[in-house]
Amino acid sequence: MVNMDASTFELKKFVIARAEHGKDLIQFVKRLAEERDIEAGTFTAVGALKRATIGFYNQDSHEYQEMEINAPREMVSCIGNISLKDGEPFVHAHVVLADDSGRAMGGHLVEGTVFAGEIQLKILEGPKVERKHDEKTDLSLWKFGENDESHNQ
Ligand code: ZN
């Protein structure tokens, strides 16, 4: 029995990139994906943000509560992925940000203005991964396409 909520991929390429100062981190990764025709990938990033908006998904109201952080923060950790939504690369990232006393807060990265950022991106090759509306959570969750035999070797 095949688990339809999981799929296997080949590592196609490993890209490292310097995020552009003053750009939005999510948009920067999205553009990277568009320019390189990346349909599936995972990434991590470290660096610093000038400001950010992070979200918390309220599981009762099914809405994101947004928190604005209008001050510089260390981007202690950022973990994300790229998949397809409505046929376009969609970037999903979570972040931990620390202030000048080392205190951290984190959440779903809505937007974050880059001060400096180093991105390590794994480009994956395999079945299509598309985000589709999920009834239970009201979120756009992954649906995996059929595994092409050539990717199962
Ligand atoms: Zn999220």
Q: Mean pLDDT across the chain, nearest whole number? A: 94
pLDDT on residue 152: 47
Mean pLDDT of 93-120: 98
pLDDT higher than 50, residue 31:
yes
For residue 3, name the pLDDT band (cuts at 50, 70, 90): low
Structure tokens that stand for 8 in this block: 């296997």
Please give the average per-residue pLDDT across 51-79, as a whole number: 98
Cα 94 to averaged position of ligand 1 atoms, centre (Å): 6
- The C-alpha angle with vertex 79 and arms to 73 and 84, in degrees rounded to 5, equals 125
Determine the distance separating the centroid of ligand 1 and the alpha carbon of 147, expressed in angstroms.
Answer: 26
Residue 106's nearest CA partner among 56, 65, 62, 59 is 56
Digit-coded pLDDT (tens) for 15-27 = 999 999 999 999 9
Give the number of residues written for the chain: 153
Q: Does residue 84 register a pLDDT over 90?
A: yes
Ligand 1: centre distance to CA 58 (Å): 11
12 pLDDT more than 80: yes
109 CA distance to ligand 1 middle (Å): 7
Judge whether 71 and 99 are in contact, CB under 8 Å: yes
What's the confidence (pLDDT) of residue 1? Answer: 53
Burial tier of 88 (Cβ tally within 10 Å: 0-12, 13-18, 19+): exposed
